[in-house]
Amino acid sequence: MKTIIPIHEVKINTAPNDSFFETYEAKFKALADRKRLQIMNELTQRGKTCVCDLCDIVEMAQSKLSYHLKILLDANLITKEIIGTWSYYEINNSAVNGLLSEELCCIFRPSRS
């Protein structure tokens, strides 16, 4: 049987440093845009999707879409696979799950001694 630890009892192993905060800052900045949130939602619903299809889905020219996709890629929130001449994108589930992780939540809660 799996033991469930209440979230307020979960502690991170080391004190967060600048690199830790920079990583999350980049991810949240990438998500702080309505169009990028729409792209993330579409990829969540559709799975791996060709950039040519994404242009139609989000009603955006490929040049503008590429700009937004690069920001999401740089933040490691999506992945890219090139098949032939087309680029396919999908959600990086581990990175997205990390945004909702106990590790991140716990740096905003006082530790209980």
- Asked whether 106 and 20 are in contact (CB, 8 A), the reply is no
**For 87-110, how does the pLDDT look when each residue is reduced to its tens digit (9 = 90+)?**
999 999 888 887 876 666 665 555
**For 47-86, how does the pLDDT look when each residue is reduced to its tens digit (9 = 90+)?**
999 999 999 999 999 999 999 999 999 999 999 999 999 9
Here the tokens at position 4 are 């469930």
Report the C-alpha gap between 78 and 9 in whole angstroms.
31
| CB atoms near residue 72 (< 10 Å) | 24
Whole-structure pTM value: 0.75
What pLDDT sits at residue 111? 58
Q: 3-class SS at 98?
A: helix
**E-strand spans in the chain?**
49-50, 78-83, 86-91
The dihedral of CA 14, 15, 17, 22: what is its sign?
Answer: positive
pLDDT value at 1 more than 80: no
Average pLDDT, the chain: 82
**For 9-39, how does the pLDDT look when each residue is reduced to its tens digit (9 = 90+)?**
444 455 667 787 888 888 899 999 999 999 9
Nearest to 35 by CA among 74, 7, 61: 61
